[in-house]
Amino acid sequence: MNIRSDNMRRQLAVLVAGALFATVSMAQTPEERGLEIATAVQAQDDGFVDSESAMTMTLINRSGKKSTRRMRSRVLEVQNDGDKSMSIFDEPADVKGTASLTHSHATDADEQWLYLPALKRVKRISSKNKSGPFMGSEFAFEDISSQEVDKYTYRYLGDDEFEGRAVHKIEAIPAYKHSGYTRLINWIDQERMVAVKVEYFDRKDSPLKTLEIDEYERHMDQFWRAGRMHMQNEQTGKSTILEWSDYKFQTGLTDKDFDSKALKRVR
């Protein structure tokens, strides 16, 4: 058999396989449909390169008493792996200047450093603690860390409506064994392909928290970013509001700005 006809046969095989795949995808399993939607949500954020933003966090206890935290964050997109991110704390005043650095990974353990300005000490810290509270708030570390498709397995639950918007409901089961959740239900706005609501279920599979995300704005004609997140703890009655502002994209940050040494000079 000559080479040409071998090639043709291969092309034919690919065509047949493609046709078969198309048929199969019409009868997608809920798992495949869930992964497809999660991948689409992630994919539309590809190419943001880097971003900077400021955040105000308001902790509200059961009796309505509020306290405030302020921080700034920087994110560097990493192709085919988790992003690198840095957070610089401005409030409360006793942690002013404290900064944390995370190199997140899709499958391996994240690497994490903390800078303590009073001691001028950079500490490598364990990244195992995903379920613990972030800055005393109702957000766990895993809620605000880099969201990668590979960190969950998915199942499409059906379509619904949320505040007048058509949404897909996707169940996401954390791949990480020390996650604080058995599962999450993500409500994905069909038009913008962003999460507008997330329900969290604790290790006993009881409803734990509900997150509502709104005030989305589009940056660089492509990237949707939320202006406000409201996390309600259904078990304790406490809640936390995150408000994001001053978004900047493609500011020219590089790997060197996300090195553990860079923690010391960040302001």
Partner 1 sequence: MWMHALSVPLVVLTAMAVSTSAYAEVETRGNVALQLQAFPSDSQHQATQDSNVSMSTEIELYSSVGENGSFTATPFIRIDQNDRERSRIDMREFLYSHYSDDWELNVGLGKVFWGVAESTNLVDVINQTDLVENDGSSAKLGQPMVNLLLLKDWGDIDLYVLPGFRERSFPGIGGRPRPAVVIDTDNALFESGEREKHIDVAARVSTAFDEWDVGAHVFHGTSRDPLFRFNPASSSVVPFYYQHTQVGVDVQATLESWLLKTELVYRTGDEIEDHAALVSGFEYSFYDIRESGADLGIVTEWMYDERGEESNQAFQNDVLIGLRLALNDEQSLEGLLGVITDLDEGGQLITLEGSRRFGSSIKARVQMTIFQSVENDSAFSGFDDEDNLQVELSYFF
Residues contributing to the site for partner 1 (CB under 8 A): 59, 61, 67-68, 91-94, 96-97, 109, 111, 118-122, 124-129, 131-133, 136, 178, 180, 202-203, 256, 259-261, 265, 267
Shortest approach of partner 1 to residue 94 CB, angstroms?
4
87: nearest Cα among 107, 70, 108, 66:
70
Tokens 């409030």: give the residue.
Answer: 91
**Which are the contacts of 150, defined by CB distance < 8 A and separation ≥ 6?**
106, 107, 175
State the distance between the two ends of the chain, measured CA to CA, in whole angstroms: 69
**How far is 97 from 70, CA to CA, in rounded Å?**
11
Closest distance to partner 1 from the beta carbon of 138 (Å): 10
Q: Nearest approach, Cβ of 120 to partner 1 (angstroms)?
A: 5
Q: How far is the CB of 255 from partner 1 (least distance, A)?
A: 9
Nearer to partner 1, 94 or 221 (CB): 94
Q: Name the minimum Å distance from CB 127 to partner 1.
A: 8
Among 239, 187, 246, which Cα is nearest to 58's?
239
Q: Which residue, 195 or 239, is less far from partner 1 as judged by CB?
A: 239
Name the DSSP letter for residue 16.
Answer: H
Of 49 and 122, which CB lies nearer to partner 1 in the complex structure?
122
Which residue lies nearer to partner 1 by CB, 11 or 206? 206
Alpha-carbon distances of 144 from 65, 130, 147, 229, rounded to whole Å: 23, 10, 8, 11
CB nearer partner 1, residue 95 or residue 193: 95
